[in-house]
Amino acid sequence: MSINLRDYLTPPQILNRDDSLALNSFKINEKDPHLKIKDQNVCLACEGKECTHTCPVENYQTEENGHTTIYWESCIECGTCRIICPFDNIDWKYPTGGFGVSYRYG
């Protein structure tokens, strides 16, 4: 009996964004969020709302009242929001030691 390697090989699985993010783990620091909006009035005056369009995990949402909400718990710490905000209105820092995202693969 011979073993055929083709019986064990499968096509590579392409993960979509949500499947890929599900591989990560997050340790949340409820007492000290690492992302904060400095002034909601600045967000109200912002027409482009760039943070809501460029965050790769869609952590920024514009509410019905025009305020911007950050769902920082699933932040992948890429820093896109702090760079893209034309008003420098996002207080961004790395999470305190032991907290934040842990990448399992890649």
Residues 4-31: pLDDT tens digits? 766 667 776 676 767 777 778 889 998 9
Domain 28-96 has CATH 3.30.70.20: yes
Q: Which residues of 71-104 are buried (b: 16+ CB within 10 A; e: fewer)?
A: ebeebbeeebbeebbeeebbebeebeeebbbeee
Residues 27-82: pLDDT tens digits? 999 899 999 999 999 999 999 999 999 999 899 999 999 899 999 888 999 999 99
**CB 64: neighbour CB atoms within 10 A?**
5
Residues 59-72: pLDDT tens digits? 999 999 989 999 98
Cβ(61)–Cβ(34) under 8 Å? Answer: no
